[in-house]
């Protein structure tokens, strides 16, 4: 393909790229959550409204109790003359019972809406993740993705189910009280409201300014860092104990704990003055109410009415602390929800690779694989992983990629099944750019066997049939036989129906790799991509894997990556990469005869396999005393 044709092809695909810079209307985290609630949004709104009604009913309980006290004080000590006191008491009980029922209904509605919301968020995340290119998962490990989805969703559930209705009730109470305050005695009402205003202002200072503004984001990031360090430390304990490096290995984990402690300590010190003042204000309502009441009492003409009003405001003051506590917890939960939605947006904003529409979709003419002037860089990398690389794998041929670590071998192989899109140039199968091949057809044409192929916690049969679910049991057994898995199946009582990962049934690295090869054989794809398929194999497993690979390669187009040069000696063509560029290519014999990078790598390999360990070296490694010159070699 000429450079002009490649440039035209790139322009064509660039025109089909989704627009990344379109303006997106930003919404608050609550607005986003209500969007995810879908048709259940009305339940959330209704639940919050019922929570507000509950707050009003609780206020009516206090008013009814005030009526009882007022009537009793008016006839004291002739209590029997308070004819309406009993009626008001029944009102208080009725309002209390209604408040309980309404609050139950409110929480039922918000919980149902919250469950639907979290389910919809999980579904949206999983649907989106399935559309992302496979290269995205290299930069976003599965554990990290799972923690973001599960952890963030749980945080949003608490906000929807509890905090939002609690905040609605907590906000309704002072509004209702302000109205009631002017009905009884506005002066004592103001004395009760001032601490509430002061408390709310101080909470705003703590959470909306300085260190408190982005505290939740930094807090969650510190937790993630500490959790990752803890997992890494626990996983490395066998190695740590073997090499007696316990204190040294704990250093990284300890550093994350100290960073977390320091961050939390600084935030605590920042909040300390405002928090102390807020607690004093919300708990010190009587410090204003009592002096104000004394001043009012000196100028009142009806002391019994004044005393009844004073007792009402005392009753109201008793609910001030729990009310502001709910507001504080709700505010904290909203900060957590903001951070959770930000993390979820990091996944949902990831762009899937554009797929060809019906007008541009094409079918490959054959199974030839080509990279034409390909340049590819990873995000944040200082230099490209591949720089103007061109190579060709003819249909039915086996081509090997070799080179030092970091030379771009795996990157080149993963561009063929379109784990990512190239920045320039193109990757073609059968003369067709992979960007013009529908994803389903592209995946059907390619089978992969990588260094870290994953086996699922299910039967060997199901693991093999993942490549082709409609494959019969006989076809799966034939694939296992071709992959040299007969000994694996024979050693388990349940044979190919043995469940992996249960009852202590685990496979070695080499055995797992042979099952992965059986899966690739079962798929029966015309193109095979192998990334160091013998990486974790012992000599016996390596020999079996090589036999399986020979069967797998028959009549197929094979692109293989190998660090053990013996595995590529029989390849039809060997392409040598170095620093993202093709520096050599040819057969094994031709490359060895040329004094280049491959020949040096081959000489180093031959030297390494002939190494022996003398007794002096072995003694030094074991920490023993030096041995004399008559010590025997260890071969």
Within a domain: residue 452? yes
Within a domain: residue 612? no
Residues contacting residue 217 through CB under 8 Å, at least 6 positions apart: 339, 342
Residues 214 and 246 in one domain: yes
Look up tokens 């041929």; give the residue: 397
Residues 530 and 430 in one domain: yes
Domain count, the chain: 3
Q: CATH code at 89? A: 1.20.1560.10
CA atoms within 13 A on the CB side of 81: 7
Residues 162 and 236 in one domain: no
* pTM (predicted TM-score): 0.69
Average pLDDT over residues 435-446: 90
Distance between CA 165 and CA 105 in Å, rounded? 11
Within a domain: residue 305? yes
Q: Which domain holds residue 59?
A: 27-183
Residues 169 and 192 in one domain: no
Percent of all residues in the chain with a pLDDT value above 70, rounded to a whole number:
85
Residues 191 and 173 in one domain: no
Residues 373 and 447 in one domain: yes
Q: In this model, does residue 216 exceed pLDDT 70? A: no
Q: Strands 398-402 and 386-393: what pairing?
A: unpaired
Within a domain: residue 622? no
CA atoms within 13 A on the CB side of 428: 25
CB atoms within 10 A of CB 178: 15
Residues 194 and 101 in one domain: no
Task: Return the H-helix or E-strand segment holding 586.
Answer: strand 581-586
Rg of the chain over all Cα atoms, to the nearest angstrom = 36
Structure token pair of residue 152: 């963030």
Residues 127 and 272 in one domain: no
Residues 163 and 174 in one domain: yes
Residues 169 and 216 in one domain: no
Of 436, 428, 364, 370, give the one whose Cα is nearest residue 397.
370
Distance between CA 307 and CA 301 in Å, rounded? 11
* Cβ–Cβ under 8 Å, residues 320 and 195: yes
CB atoms within 10 A of CB 340: 26
On the 0-12 / 13-18 / 19+ scale of CB atoms within 10 A, 156 is buried
Q: What is the separation, in whole angstroms, between the first and last Cα of the chain?
A: 53
Distance between CA 146 and CA 532 in Å, rounded? 28
Of 371, 401, 372, 403, give the one whose Cα is nearest residue 579.
403
pLDDT digits (tens, 9 = 90+) for 173-187: 777 777 776 677 778
Q: In this model, does residue 594 exceed pLDDT 90? A: no
pLDDT digits (tens, 9 = 90+) for 477-493: 999 998 889 989 999 88
Within a domain: residue 230? yes
How sure is the predictor about 626, in pLDDT bands with cuts at 50, 70 and 90?
A: very low
Residues 467 and 524 in one domain: yes
β-bridge mates for residue 574, sequence order = 400, 586
For 44, 112, 207, 590, the CA distances from 30, given in Å and listed in that order, are 11, 16, 17, 67
Within a domain: residue 333? no
Looking at per-residue pLDDT, the higher value among 349 and 539 belongs to 349
Residues 516 and 547 in one domain: yes
Structure token pair of residue 153: 């969703």
Within a domain: residue 588? yes
The dihedral formed by the CA atoms of 9, 13, 14 and 17, expressed in degrees to the nearest 10: 180
Q: In this model, does residue 344 exceed pLDDT 80? A: yes
The dihedral formed by the CA atoms of 306, 309, 310 and 316, expressed in degrees to the nearest 10: -170
Per DSSP (E only), the strands in 285-368 are none
pLDDT digits (tens, 9 = 90+) for 129-155: 888 888 888 777 776 788 788 878 888
Distance between CA 442 and CA 58 in Å, rounded? 64
Q: Enumerate the H helices of 132-185 as residue ranges.
A: 134-139, 142-158, 164-181
Residues contacting residue 461 through CB under 8 Å, at least 6 positions apart: 473, 476, 496, 497
Q: In this model, does residue 329 exceed pLDDT 80? A: no
β-bridge mates for residue 559, sequence order = 399, 529
Average pLDDT over residues 108-120: 93
């Amino acid at each position: 393909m000429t450079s002009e044709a490649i440039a035209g092809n790139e322009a064509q695909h660039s025109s089909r790229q989704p627009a990344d810079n379109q303006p997106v209307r930003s919404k608050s985290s609550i607005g986003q959550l209500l969007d995810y609630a879908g048709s259940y949004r009305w339940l959330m709104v209704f639940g919050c409204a019922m929570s507000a009604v509950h707050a009003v009913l609780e206020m009516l309980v206090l008013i009814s109790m005030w009526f009882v006290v007022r009537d009793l004080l008016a006839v004291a000590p002739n209590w029997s003359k308070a004819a309406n006191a009993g009626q008001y008491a029944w009102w208080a009980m009725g309002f209390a019972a209604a408040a309980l029922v309404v609050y139950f209904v409110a929480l039922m509605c918000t919980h149902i809406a919250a469950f639907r919301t979290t389910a919809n968020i999980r579904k949206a995340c999983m649907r989106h993740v399935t559309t992302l290119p496979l290269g995205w998962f290299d930069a976003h490990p599965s554990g990290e993705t799972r923690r973001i989805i599960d952890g963030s969703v749980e945080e949003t559930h608490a906000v929807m189910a509890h905090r939002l209705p609690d905040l609605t009730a907590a906000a309704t109470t002072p509004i209702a009280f302000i109205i009631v305050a002017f009905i009884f005695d506005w002066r004592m009402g103001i004395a009760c409201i001032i601490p509430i205003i002061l408390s709310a202002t101080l909470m705003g200072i703590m959470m909306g300014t300085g260190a408190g503004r982005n505290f939740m984001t930094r807090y969650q990031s510190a937790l993630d860092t500490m959790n990752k360090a803890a997992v890494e430390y626990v996983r490395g304990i066998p190695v740590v104990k073997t090499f007696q490096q316990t204190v040294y290995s704990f250093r990284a984990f300890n550093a994350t704990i100290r960073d977390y402690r320091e961050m939390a300590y600084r935030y605590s010190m920042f909040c300390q003055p405002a928090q102390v003042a807020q607690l004093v204000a919300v708990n010190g309502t009587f410090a204003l109410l009592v002096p104000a009441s004394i001043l009012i009492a000196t100028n009142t003409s009806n002391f019994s009415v004044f005393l009844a009003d004073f007792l009402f405001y005392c009753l109201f003051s008793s609910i001030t602390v729990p009310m502001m506590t709910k507001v504080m917890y709700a505010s904290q939960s909203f900060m957590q929800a903001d951070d959770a939605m930000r993390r979820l947006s990091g996944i949902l904003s990831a762009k899937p690779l554009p797929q060809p529409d019906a007008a541009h979709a094409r079918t490959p003419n054959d199974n030839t694989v080509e990279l034409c002037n390909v340049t590819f860089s990873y995000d944040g990398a200082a230099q490209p992983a591949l720089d103007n690389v061109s190579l060709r794998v003819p249909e039915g041929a086996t081509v090997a990629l070799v080179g030092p670590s970091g030379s771009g071998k795996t990157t080149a192989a993963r561009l063929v099944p379109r784990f990512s899109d190239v920045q320039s140039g193109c990757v073609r199968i059968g003369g067709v750019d992979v960007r013009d091949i529908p994803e389903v057809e592209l995946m059907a044409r390619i089978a992969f066997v990588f260094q870290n192929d994953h086996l699922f916690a299910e039967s060997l049969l199901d693991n093999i049939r993942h490549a082709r679910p409609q494959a019969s049991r006989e076809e799966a057994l034939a694939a296992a036989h071709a992959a040299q898995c007969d000994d694996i199946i024979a050693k388990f009582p349940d044979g190919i129906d043995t469940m992996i990962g249960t009852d202590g049934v685990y496979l070695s690295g080499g055995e797992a790799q042979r099952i992965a090869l059986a899966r690739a054989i079962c798929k029966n794809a015309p193109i095979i991509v192998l990334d160091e398929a013998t990486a974790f194999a012992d000599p016996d497993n390596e020999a079996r894997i090589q036999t399986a690979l020979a069967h797998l390669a028959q009549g197929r187009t094979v692109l293989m990556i190998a660090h053990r040069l013996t595995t590529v000696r029989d390849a039809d063509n060997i392409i040598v990469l170095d620093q993202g560029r093709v520096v050599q290519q040819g057969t094994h014999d031709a490359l060895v005869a040329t004094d280049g990078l491959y020949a040096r790598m081959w000489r180093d390999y031959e030297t390494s396999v002939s190494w022996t360990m003398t007794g002096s070296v072995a003694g030094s490694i074991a920490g023993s005393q030096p041995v004399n010159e008559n010590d025997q070699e260890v071969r």
